[in-house]
Structure 1
Amino acid sequence: MKGSCPMKPVANQPLLPVVEYKPAYHVVGIKEVHTLVPGQPMTSIADQWARFMQRIQEITGREAGAPTMGVCLSSPDGKPFDYVTGAVVPESSSSVPQGMDRWTLAPHTYAVFTHRGPISQLDGTYAAIHQWLNENDAYVRAQAPEMEFYDHRYISMEAADNEFDIYVPVTRK
């Protein structure tokens, strides 16, 4: 089970991103619709991750140790939003298991924030992201999917030494 993109800021935590251009990503996974309810935990996304991880072995052509991604395809601003749990696959991979879909996420410039610690502390990371977006002088959030990138540094939901990256699409002001 992994995190979720629609957390609301609740605490100040100093955190600065690395702003960099990322290539296209090809993802095979499951898309579901969720609604953020202020003050309520997003257990539906954790449940979606559990369902996806039970089926990840069905994705053929996936390289050993390839990252997984959580992708917000639409904004969680109080409305239902689309969230993908998926595995990164090579561009040439064509096999898509029944009940899953394939997405190509276009190359983009992102502010990349690294969350460190258990998922239960993710709200502090999102608070820092929102603070940076509101206070930096060079970038604004762009209209593109937001992504969580889980590689070998992600251990488990509550591991104190967890690390994963949150890609926030940005453009120059």
Structure 2
Amino acid sequence: MDQQAKLPLEPRMEAGKALVIAGVQGRYSKATVGDIPKLWDLFNTCIKDIKKRVGGVTYGVCHNPHNGEFDYMAGVEIPTKSDVPGNFEFIEIAPLNYAVFPHHGPVQALEQTYERIMFEWLPHSGYKVMGADFERYSADFNADKGTGAVEIWLPVGEKG
């Protein structure tokens, strides 16, 4: 059993703010989720074209789930949707309440952290998912070196 699986899932609760994320996106399934790093490689070649970036944080947004597939956007926060350069897509994220989970270990193990959240923590939490979840990568994040911080932000509301 790896180190990641032994750590307890103890999220902090945080009120999110409205975000506009601009970036590149693709449609993925469980079978193709391994291709997401290629999307990040593409994004990293064109991130410089986003001139009005807010802060140094990057986001991986999972949204529009349907029939086992979902859209994934690699992006950065921008001030408003009118600041989106023409060759990029964007998503608006509503100000929801989040359970924020730190991810420990290599980014390649992110899928295991997601599965633990969805199958171990969520069913016993008293919450339900309320919208798009996202990964938040610190400004000093480097996937190659394994440095920086990654958090999973899951929008939650009380089960009714």
TM beyond 0.5: yes
Match of 2:77 among 74, 88, 94: 88
Q: Does 1:53 align with 2:44?
A: yes
Shift of 1:156: 2.0
More strand by share: 2
- Farther-moved stretch of structure 1 (114-123 vs 149-158): 149-158
For residue 16 of structure 1, what is the aligned residue in structure 2? 10
| CA distance 1:35–1:127, change in 2 (3 Å) | closer
- C-alpha distance in structure 1 between counterparts of 2:82 and 2:56, whole Å: 16
* Unaligned ranges ≥5, structure 1: 1-10
Shifted more, 103-112 versus 149-158: the winner is 149-158
Kept after mapping to 1: 8 A contact 2:57/2:137: yes
Q: Secondary structure at the match of 2:48?
A: helix
Q: Which residue is equivalent to 1:44?
A: 35
Distance (Å, rounded) in 1 between the aligned partners of 2:115 and 2:148: 18
2:65 paired residue among 68, 75, 99: 75
TM-score by length of 2: 0.84
Cα RMSD after superposing both structures: 2.3
Contact 2:133 2:153 in 1 (8 A): yes
C-alpha contact 1:30 1:100 (8 A) present in aligned 2 = yes
* Number of residue pairs aligned between Structure 1 and Structure 2: 155
Fraction of identical pairs, as percent:
31
Instruction: Name 1:33's counterpart in structure 2.
Output: 27
Per the alignment, do residues 27 and 75 of structure 1 end up closer, same or farther by CA in structure 2, a change over 3 Å counting? same
Q: Could you list the runs of 5+ residues in structure 2 that have no partner in the other structure?
A: none
Per-residue CA deviation, residues 91-118 of structure 1 (Å, 9 max, x unaligned), is: 3x63333331222211101111010221
Note the C-alpha offset of 1:158: 5.3
Q: Is 1:163 aligned to residue 149 of structure 2?
A: yes
1:132 to 118, 121, 127: 121
Larger relative contact order (C-alpha < 8 A, sep ≥ 6)?
A: 1
Deviation at 1:74, TM superposition (A): 1.9
Q: Which has the higher helix share?
A: 2
- Once the two structures are TM-superposed, the CA of residue 83 in structure 1 deviates from its matched residue by 1.0
* CA–CA distance in structure 2, aligned partners of residues 107 and 139 of structure 1: 17
1:108 pairs with one of 68, 90, 96: 96
| Contact 1:71/1:85 (8 A) holds in 2 | yes
Q: Is the 8 A contact 2:101 2:152 kept in 1?
A: yes
